[in-house]
Structure 1
């Protein structure tokens, strides 16, 4: 495919993110994109963000759990760049108007102390490269209208990234049981979804190895200090239709995610931007 066509798709997605107006899926309007071409669209927009003063601070894997694939009609994982401007501070307010149709996820986040690069990366390599793990919330969002996505659509859209919040309870991975750690997501104190880290390809370390190997043909190397999000341990929850039991819908929404025996991460959606359907 010509570079001009890829840049055209990238521009349309970048404008949708900026304006908050979603577009029809590129897979339905053309030009046809395969997974590698879609990743090139993603990279074009990541490079444009860096040129505008942003910074690549890691990578993410999405739709790795079967519950997530079923929810969004996909049969393969997606992946994307993590940019510094997508990170929010724990306990602070996140403006709902930043997003089009956001969902909330709970997942572990890994911070690296060593380089990782595929192909042929093993789980042992991943274990050796991780400095510590933290609980993380990812807000996923799509620039594609009605989340009507196929794999090339979400890849072109940077893995449907929205925002990332990292928790403040770092742990060495030797102190965690990442193959069996229950997690739960709450909105205004009410539990809205549960899951387990085993849902992330058996354990999130294996998912990280998969991601690094998948990106190796694109020349991507994970670097010390970068954040790797290996995927949600539970089905993503729509931000706008969660706490239906509330009678006062003008109140702020308080979100928290907790891993048993590990720690929590939380954020607020202020009342002025908290909406429900």
Structure 2
């Protein structure tokens, strides 16, 4: 980062790092600092990212959150946000996640993009996103929060890496030329019971529009979406709470399915 980071930003970043390390959520940062701005929240996120990278944890992608109107209403927020994906967040398809590795997880189903070209904003378009995409995959994002009881304002979730946790990708790459992403339907089953339905258009009318928004937003911080990165484009339905023993299957038209199970 080029700019000087304030002492308060560093302290709040340390609080989040400690919360993740100790698996103990903390009170909202907006209660610790009622004047916390959105710009400062992104600075906190980048400070945490910098700390992880300094320890050798590799960035493998990015995520967009709060892209659907239903999700924005749920959290009382009116704009998307974004975060970073690290190599230690990856869960293989149809594998298990231990509750020892999460704090207060929820799941959501999304379309994941894998890039073959860099994308640098501003002014990235949907068409440019599609041209830069190697393939898409079905995904389940396991969101998590270091903020107690998910008591979030936008600044809280942004600072907390957009409430990132873990993620699972499907096994069958599909070219964007083979599908019309807004029309792809999705169903999420919890322990065999249908719980949520959605479609690609639920994410800002077009999942690639979410990726374009991300590239343009990150340009403000001189961050580029890089070839090879995974981009989680945003939930196609609202989240589902998770308890130990739960098994989730997300089935996407044309893209296949992705599964994950949670154990104690």
So what's the TM-score if we normalise by structure 2? 0.95
CA distance in 1, matches of 2:142, 2:100: 13
Query: What displacement does 1:29 show?
Result: 1.7
Task: Confirm or deny: 8 A CA contact 1:72 1:147 kept in the other structure.
Answer: no
**Residue 268 of structure 1 is aligned with which of 255, 261, 264?**
261
Number of the residue aligned with 1:247: none
Task: Confirm or deny: 8 A CA contact 1:5 1:31 kept in the other structure.
Answer: no
Number of the residue aligned with 1:29: 32
Task: Confirm or deny: 8 A CA contact 1:65 1:201 kept in the other structure.
Answer: yes
Query: For residues 155-191 of structure 1, what are the alpha-carbon distances to aligned partners after superposition, in whole Å with 9 as ceiling and x for unaligned?
Result: 1000000101111011001111211111011111111
Structure 2, unpaired ranges of 5+ = none
1:179-198 → structure 2 map (5 Å cutoff): 179-198=182-201
Number of the residue aligned with 1:60: 63
Q: State whether structure 2 residue 229 is matched by structure 1 residue 226.
A: yes
CA distance in 2, matches of 1:45, 1:140: 17
Task: Confirm or deny: 8 A CA contact 2:5 2:43 kept in the other structure.
Answer: no
**Residue 247 of structure 2 is aligned with which of 232, 249, 254?**
254
Number of the residue aligned with 2:122: 119
RMSD of aligned alpha carbons? 1.3
Number of the residue aligned with 1:202: 205
Is the partner of 1:179 in helix, strand or coil?
helix
Number of the residue aligned with 2:177: 174
CA distance in 2, matches of 1:141, 1:33: 21
**Residue 10 of structure 2 is aligned with which of 7, 11, 16?**
7
Aligned residues: 261
**Runs in 1 of length 4+ with deviation above 3 angstroms?**
none
CA distance in 1, matches of 2:76, 2:148: 14
Task: Confirm or deny: 8 A CA contact 1:119 1:216 kept in the other structure.
Answer: yes
Query: What displacement does 1:31 show?
Result: 6.0
Query: What displacement does 1:71 show?
Result: 1.7
